[in-house]
Structure 1
Amino acid sequence: MSKSPQTATDEIQNKADSRIDQGAERIKQATSEAVATTKEAVERAADRVEAGVHHATDRAAAAAHRATDKAGELGERGREAYEEAIDTADAWLEQARDYVRRKPVQSVAIALGAGWLLGRLLRR
């Protein structure tokens, strides 16, 4: 028995449709695999970038803390040096006052001599 021309055409059409569907399915699977592989690669790269940024941020914060601590230490040393200088100046001033009280004539003579010398130096 021979197939009718319509039946033969239908079979050819069905085979063609089946091949088209199979080809489309293979393309979809290949595309899905390529997208999945790309997603994994991008996620790994994003994870590395995120870890690098976190590490750099932690290091920058640690450096900022060290700088702040050092600035605090230097500020405290500066305050101590200032207070020491004020104390030393006060002690010298008190010694000068005591000397003037004990020896007023010599103090006036020294002041006149220093004034005369300073005047000579500034005149030139």
Structure 2
Amino acid sequence: MGTGTSPRTHDRIDQGAERVKQATSEAVARTKQAADKVEASVHRATDRAADAAHRANDRAADFADRGRELADETLDKADAWMAKAREYVREKPMQSVAIALGAGWLLGRILRR
């Protein structure tokens, strides 16, 4: 042993060291449990965020597709209307000129105010 130390002192030191080791092991175990819970929570949150981002992306793509469809339909309707207008002008040129003059006069009156 050493000079001036008794076996009881050694036992108390050893017991103290064991208590410190035990407390350290328990603290590490609790920390690991807490870290595991935090990690699981972060993983769940990340998965939920990714799912939300996927849904948002899908909805944006759906809206873009619908917008293109509406634009195509509108252009088709405009083309059909222009074809009808051209046909009407060819069939009735004098009436078409009279209508255009009347519409121009009315538009001029409205815009003048």
Q: Please report the TM-score for the alignment, with normalisation by the length of structure 1.
A: 0.86
Distance in 2 between residues matched to 1:122 and 1:59, nearest whole Å: 56
In the alignment, does 2:27 pair up with 1:38?
A: yes
Within 5 Å, give how 1:1-124 maps onto structure 2.
Answer: 16-124=5-113
Alignment gaps of 5+ in structure 1:
1-12
Query: One-letter code of the match for 1:56?
Result: A
Distance in 2 between residues matched to 1:93 and 1:85, nearest whole Å: 12
Alignment gaps of 5+ in structure 2:
none
Question: Equivalent pairs: percent with the same residue?
Answer: 52
Moved over 3 A (4+): 13-16
Distance in 1 between residues matched to 2:44 and 2:16, nearest whole Å: 42
Distance in 1 between residues matched to 2:21 and 2:108, nearest whole Å: 97
Q: Please report the TM-score for the alignment, with normalisation by the length of structure 2.
A: 0.94
Distance in 1 between residues matched to 2:108 and 2:79, nearest whole Å: 27
Distance in 2 between residues matched to 1:98 and 1:74, nearest whole Å: 36
Q: Which has the larger radius of gyration?
A: 1
Q: CA deviation at 1:15?
A: 8.3
C-alpha distance after superposition, 1:40-71 (max 9, x if no partner): 10000000000000000000000000000000
Distance in 2 between residues matched to 1:120 and 1:61, nearest whole Å: 58
Distance in 1 between residues matched to 2:73 and 2:91, nearest whole Å: 27
Q: Alignment RMSD, CA only?
A: 1.4
